[in-house]
Structure 1
Amino acid sequence: MAIVSIVKTNGNVEEGVRKAVELAGGIDIEPGANILIKPNLSCAKPSGSGLVTSVEVISAMVKLVKEIGGKPLVGDLPIAGWDPKETYKITGVKKATEDAGGQFIDFSKDQPVTIQIPDAVKLKSVKLVRTALTADAIISLPVLKAHFFTGLTLCVKNLKGLTLQDQRTKIHVLGLYDPIIDLFSALKSKVIFGLVDGTVGCESIRPSGPYYGPTEGKPIKLDTLIAGKDIVAVDSVAAVTAGIKPKSMKLLQIAYERGLGEIEDIEVRGEKIKPHKLKQTLFGRIMGSLNSLWTSKIANPVTHPLVKRLFGPQVQSLRSVEKELEEVVPSRIVLAGECDNCGICVKSCGVGNIKLGKNGPIIGDKCLVCLICVESCPLGALAVKRVEEVSA
């Protein structure tokens, strides 16, 4: 049985982190071990926005790891398109880490290492930052926020930030869910603890496209921490607190089916679960059941023949997708909201398919439907067309 703790911070985040860890059975750390604390620094947004892990939680975990006897390291890479240097500055993570006695690692300067994942379903190999492999253990420290595609982004998905930015397209076009679980399976022996920062969460706020999350949304003060050694169980409890059934989250269901964690047999210690339903966009709510979207099925293993050459024969061919969708248009991403011409979508596109015009992005005919541009847009201004919208 997995043990997961739920703690209210009551205005004292550091004490809350300590209590959450204690109730969950503590963190097993060998003296002198290098412990990588992996927060969610997906975008250049300030601490307390609900979009990145708060510096108070990061600082508290750094201090605790140091007290236990470990050497705390902190690092992450933002979503493709976002500048790491700016992200580190605006989030305040570097100063918070060093003030607490830890070492901040600039992952954008960390040497990449390619690993093979022999038993992977989709992600057979991937480039990671070296620290992910040289660290003795990893603590996943995400923020509780809505995500337009996966419902929520929590401890398991947070590990994607250990991959190089140019690997994110590969993960997305291979189906997102299985590749993330493949990555988790490769790192599972190192991942010793997870703590979800629910001090301030973030929910999507528009009923239909643009599809907010994970770089924009409405902050919700929750004053809650969720922790445990089994990060699948931690994510499951976090999902319930957000009003979502764990089995309805495909990422957790796949992890459970592959024997990587528990979603049902869980002992919850501390506070009782009081769901606060984080609102998802219409796109997020219907993604699992509606295949009339241009992504075909959930994170369809892509629709462009270029993908097969880039990422191998395991992806779905264009012909099979044409048969499924009955008609195909080259570009399926549209501007559905206000654009400030920041250019992040241009930088995020792994195949250089987006250019910036006077009135916003111009999307070419090589779209892989990886949706990273949608994910990275600071204003949530990009959306996916539905079949009926194209044929109208």
Structure 2
Amino acid sequence: MAKISLLKCDDYNRVNSAVKESVHLLGGISSFIKPGEKILIKPNLLAPKEPSKAVTTHPEAVKAVIQLVKSAGATPIVGDSPGGAVRDIKNLWKVTGMEDICTREKVELVNFEAAGSKAFDIGDNNVKRVNFSNAVLNCDGIINVPKLKTHSLMAFTAGIKNLYGCVPGLMKVEYHKLASKNKDFAHLLANIYLFLKNKIRFTIIDGVLAMEGNGPSSGEIRRLNVIAASADTALLDAVMLTSLRRDISKSEIFKKLMISKKDTDGAEIIGNARQDFNFENFKFPSLRKLDLMPKPLIKILGKFLWVHPEINEDVCVKCMMCKKSCPANAIYKIESGYPRVEDKKCISCFCCHEMCPYKAVDFAKSFLAKIFIKED
């Protein structure tokens, strides 16, 4: 069973030592990387948000990994493909702090879209061929550095979900359309993980400032003060979810990967113990309360139990990022200039909610959904 390193870190000024110590506890950087290798450091760069917003991986965590890779005699590069509708990659690098860190460390920032891509059959039932950036395919190994956040469709995003950023640009939007349901998208994420698994040297989660509630960009900042690492990305995600008191037996990702509570209970935790952290009462997306309902009941209630995105015109600035992010073309502009969701076309993937820079996408619920889904 793989080791899971958990270390307390309450300040990004101290994250460098926490990251390095977490890797040391796993066996040291030289046990994962050989001199002369080219290693892709893959943070979460969902959108152009400042590090203090807890939407993206903090640059100080990335800096620590860069220095570790250099110390092993390897060449680090840094890259990610942001949300499909984000076009100005240089602005994203600047706002997230990645440009500054990589300039100071003399490390290449890679544009996944400009690098080109290649398609592969990864055995997914809904997306027959998945494109991966050549920046991912041409490196010797990957160090996965996700942000710990909630996710309105998948409930949770960390190591496995972060790998979806290896798919370049608007292809991510298209795959959301082909695998729009929770189970289908979960299987796609699991299959992407399995395809890349042998390239991943280890995953290190930035959970100093995390996000709870209706993430991954519109939730609430939650200080968890944790740096978590493991060579086993899937087990690490599962351990973190169970630590946050989430029943992983409800997760379609872990069902697909055949990971259960027995696996998390048997994991070797090193560093700090789970009880040393403030993991209690972590808020998951309100929509995911439907996951706790018995499946037969959901089938019976059917069309009377629905949730769709809804534009809050009091907050909306008419940037139309929601429309650009919608894989189903279910959002259009009305005469006043505001976007409107066409419910019949909506596939409830909530990409619009994920990508809205102004938190202007709310959730419209049926009468029954309002009963079952109450905001915390």
TM category (shorter chain) comes to 0.7 to 0.9
**Structure 1 residue 194 displacement after superposition:** 0.3
Provide the C-alpha distance between the structure 2 equivalents of 1:332 and 1:203, rounded to a whole number of angstroms: 20
The residue type equivalent to 2:77 in the other structure is L
- Residue 3 (str. 1) matches residue 3 (str. 2): yes
Counterpart of 1:375 (choices 321, 342, 354) is 354
Task: Confirm or deny: 8 A CA contact 2:218 2:354 kept in the other structure.
Answer: no
- Give the Å deviation of 1:55: 0.4
Matched, 1:85 2:76: no
- How far does residue 67 in structure 1 lie from its aligned partner after superposition? 0.6
Query: Residue 96 of structure 1 aligns to a residue in which SS?
Result: helix
Checking the alignment, whether the CA contact within 8 Å between 1:128 and 1:162 is kept in structure 2 is yes
Alignment-derived partner of residue 314 in structure 1: none
Of the three residues 100, 123, 130, the one matched with 1:95 is: 100
Offset of 1:124 from its aligned partner?
A: 2.7
**Residues 271, 31 of structure 1: alpha-carbon distance in 2 compared, 3 angstrom cutoff:** same
| Structure 1 or 2: more helix by fraction | 2
Task: Give the secondary structure class of the aligned counterpart of 2:102.
Answer: helix
Work out the CA distance in 2 between the residues paired with 1:152 and 1:76: 19
- Indicate conservation of the 8 Å contact 1:213/1:380, yes or no: no
**Corresponding position of 1:300:** none
Q: Which residue of 2 aligns with 1:218?
A: 220
Give the corresponding residue for 1:189: 198
Task: Describe the shift of the 1:335–1:43 C-alpha distance in structure 2 as closer, same or farther (beyond 3 A).
Answer: same
Match in the other structure for 1:172: 176
Equivalences, count: 353
**Is the aligned partner of 1:267 residue 2:268?**
yes
The Cα shift of 1:280 comes to 2.1
Task: Give 3-state SS (helix, strand or coil) of 1:59's partner.
Answer: helix
**8 Å contact 1:34–1:136 — kept in the other structure?**
yes
Is the contact made by 2:218 and 2:353 (CA closer than 8 Å) also made in structure 1?
Answer: no
Give the counterpart of 1:363 among 325, 341, 344: 341
The CA deviation at 1:92 is: 1.2
1:291–1:221 distance in 2 versus 1, CA, 3 Å? same
Change (3 A) 1:75 1:121: same
Alpha-carbon distance between aligned partners in 1 of 2:359 and 2:284, rounded to the nearest angstrom: 13
Q: CA deviation at 1:79?
A: 1.4
Cα distance in 2, alignment partners of residues 256 and 277 from structure 1: 27
Shift of 1:264: 4.1
- C-alpha separation in 2, matches of 1:246 and 1:324: 25
Which runs of 5 or more residues in structure 1 are unaligned?
205-211, 298-322
Q: How does the TM-score come out when normalised to structure 1?
A: 0.81
1:43 is aligned to: 47
Cα deviation, residue 10, structure 1 = 5.0
Note the alpha carbon deviations across 1:72-92, whole angstroms, 9 max, x for none.
111111112233333222101
223-232 or 87-96, which moves further after superposition?
87-96
Q: Secondary structure at the match of 2:4?
A: strand
* 2:65 partner SS: helix
1:42-75 CA-partner distances (Å, limit 9, x unpaired): 1111113211100000000011011112211111
Q: Which residue of 1 aligns with 2:210?
A: 201
Name 1:75's counterpart in structure 2. 79
Give the SS at the match of 1:65: helix
Of residues 58, 65, 70, the one that matches 1:61 is: 65
| Deviation larger for 10-19 or 94-103 | 94-103
Q: Equivalences for 1:1-392 in 2 at 5 Å? A: 1-9=1-9, 11=11, 12-27=14-29, 28-83=32-87, 84-117=89-122, 119-173=123-177, 174=179, 175-204=184-213, 212-256=214-258, 263-274=264-275, 275-289=279-293, 325=302, 332-335=308-311, 338-357=315-334, 358=336, 360-364=338-342, 366-388=345-367
Residues 287, 327 of structure 1: CA spacing in aligned structure 2 closer, same or farther, 3 A cutoff?
A: closer
State the alpha-carbon separation in 2 of the partners of residues 273 and 86 from structure 1.
Answer: 38
1:105-143 CA-partner distances (Å, limit 9, x unpaired): 1223221221222x3344331111111110111111111
Contact 1:203 1:278 in 2 (8 A): yes
Take 2:340 and 2:174, find their aligned partners in 1: how far apart are those partners?
22
Partner SS, residue 113 of structure 2 = helix
What secondary structure sits across from 1:15 in the alignment? helix
CA contact (8 A) 1:292 1:387 kept: no
The unaligned stretches of length 5 or more in structure 2 are 370-376
* Aligned equivalent of 1:307: none
Q: Secondary structure at the match of 2:246?
A: coil
The SS at the match of 2:224 is strand
Aligned equivalents of 1:106, 1:348: Cα separation in 2: 19
1:202 shift after superposition:
1.3
1:291 Cα shift?
Answer: 6.5
CA deviation profile, 1:306-343 (whole Å, cap 9, x unmatched): xxxxxxxxxxxxxxxxx9835899x9432257322222
Offset of residue 359 of structure 1: 6.0
Q: Is the 8 A contact 1:292 1:386 kept in 2?
A: no
Q: Percent identity?
A: 26
Q: How far apart, in 1, do the equivalents of 2:338 and 2:358 lie?
A: 12
1:311 paired residue number: none
- Cα gap change, 1:290 to 1:381, in 2 (>3 Å): farther
Deviates more, 1:185-194 or 1:169-178: 169-178
SS of residue paired to 2:226 = strand
Give the counterpart letter for 2:9 in structure 1: T
